[in-house]
């Protein structure tokens, strides 16, 4: 295939879409995405379509440790096209510890907020305010700042706060995933950006000097090799599971893994696939005594945040879909199977959610887990999902000190 690109970005998720949008202003850029356009899924566009879009445009992977289900987005825009769509700035201390210049980080935040995120003033519904008031009664301090900026401001001293989010999924309007950064500019960007959908990267190609020169792909048209110009770059933005998998398939990874599957070594690196952080989350249904205004549209607009966890509320329709997305995770271990998910999803699609009820979808997630896992290859076939071990065990007696800390 002809050499047409200065940059190749593999993975059209949140980071890949933003990166490709930026690189296209500098030179011809190719974005490779294995999923379809988010516009193919009407559930992605409206609030009542979350979290069912997550159950539909998601490739499930079972953790080998806990048996819980996880997975990766299979859609242009990645997580930003199917998650709860809230926009939060990260904490200053995280970027400082990584050596980033804060003014540059803030500028990037401002650009994303201006292009994608809305303040969502319509979110102050009776439904959301009921939980906000309950959190205040339990000692959480409301932070008075612009939506989405609470974690960024410097004068927050409380360890338990109530924060307001910006959103990619406004109550009145449609979702704006990260791919919106370039979708409106495709025809106005001097033709610098090309997007291949439904296309998988099989491996990164290297020259004799071990410099990346292109990508071998598999698309509906067949297999092909695509190359960058001299001085060009290949970027891997395929997420926490698929990125180490692609590195290993390309010959970069632990020596024993490469040897096991007969993959020619480019670089031996035992750190590839290690230090996985699988942040655990759970959702429960909380009965409400009466129907509350806004209960059919709320999606994580306010959050109760502590050092160790993050909690929020979604609309009442989310509860049934949440059961599927959790992947039968609360079932007995022997029932945590692909068939469990397929049957639950099939029943939900076929029969619907049934009668609406006054149940709030309450969501809780870890913030700073200590447990670490790993990712490795299941085979040398690019079509096979990776093996993911989240660092947990199905037996309490086998839990590590980090596991027990996170469990508490």
Q: Is 314 exposed, middle or buried (0-12, 13-18, 19+ CB in 10 A)?
A: buried
Distance from C-alpha of 404 to C-alpha of 354, rounded to nearest angstrom: 38
pLDDT tens for 182-236 read: 876 554 556 789 999 999 999 999 999 999 999 999 999 999 999 999 999 999 9
Cβ neighbors of 53 (< 8 A, separation 6 or more) are: 41, 43, 44, 81, 82
Summarised one tens digit per residue, pLDDT across range 253-307 is 999 999 999 999 999 999 999 999 998 888 888 888 888 999 988 999 999 998 8
Give the span between the Cα atoms of 342 and 327, in whole angstroms.
9
Mean pLDDT of 18-36: 94
Structure tokens at 19: 């990166």
- Does the pLDDT of residue 352 top 80, yes or no? no
Q: How far apart are the first and last CA of the chain?
A: 55
- Kindly state the average pLDDT of the residues 75-104: 91
């Amino acid at each position: 295939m002809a050499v047409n690109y200065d940059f190749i970005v593999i993975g059209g998720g949140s980071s890949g879409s933003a990166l490709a949008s930026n690189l296209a202003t500098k030179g011809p850029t190719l974005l490779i995405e294995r999923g379809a356009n988010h516009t193919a899924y009407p559930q992605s566009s409206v609030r009542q379509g979350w979290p069912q879009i997550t159950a539909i445009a998601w490739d499930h992977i079972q953790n080998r440790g806990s048996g819980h289900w996880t997975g990766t987005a299979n859609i242009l825009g990645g997580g930003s096209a199917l998650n709860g769509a809230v926009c939060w700035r990260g904490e200053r201390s995280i970027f400082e510890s990584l050596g980033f210049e804060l003014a540059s980080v803030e500028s990037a935040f401002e650009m994303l907020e201006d292009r994608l995120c809305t303040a969502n003033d319509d979110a102050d519904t009776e439904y959301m305010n009921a939980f906000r008031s309950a959190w205040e009664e339990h000692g959480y301090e409301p932070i008075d700042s612009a939506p989405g900026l609470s974690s960024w401001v410097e004068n927050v001293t409380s360890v338990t706060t109530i924060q307001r989010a910006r959103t990619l999924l406004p109550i009145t309007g449609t979702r704006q995933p990260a791919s919106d950064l370039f979708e409106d500019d495709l025809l106005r960007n001097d033709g610098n950006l090309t997007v291949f959908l439904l296309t998988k990267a099989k491996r990164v190609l290297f020259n004799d000097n071990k410099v990346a020169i292109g990508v071998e792909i598999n698309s509906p048209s067949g297999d092909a090799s695509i190359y960058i110009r001299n001085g060009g770059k290949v970027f891997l933005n395929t997420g926490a599971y698929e990125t180490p998998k692609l590195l290993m398939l390309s010959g970069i990874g632990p020596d024993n893994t490469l040897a096991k599957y007969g993959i020619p070594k480019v670089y031996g690196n035992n750190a590839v696939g290690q230090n996985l952080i699988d942040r655990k989350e759970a959702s429960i249904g909380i009965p409400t005594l009466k129907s509350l205004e806004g209960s059919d549209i709320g999606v994580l607009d306010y959050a109760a945040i502590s050092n160790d966890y993050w909690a929020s509320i979604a609309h009442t329709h989310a509860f049934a879909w949440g059961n599927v997305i959790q992947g039968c995770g609360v079932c007995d271990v022997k029932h945590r199977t692909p068939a469990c998910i397929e049957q639950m999803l099939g029943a939900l699609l076929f029969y619907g959610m049934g009668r609406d009820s006054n149940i709030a979808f309450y969501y809780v997630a870890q913030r700073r887990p200590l447990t670490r896992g790993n990712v490795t290859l299941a085979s040398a076939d690019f079509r096979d999902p990776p093996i993911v071990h989240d660092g947990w065990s199905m037996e309490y007696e086998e839990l590590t000190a980090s596991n027990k800390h996170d469990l508490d």
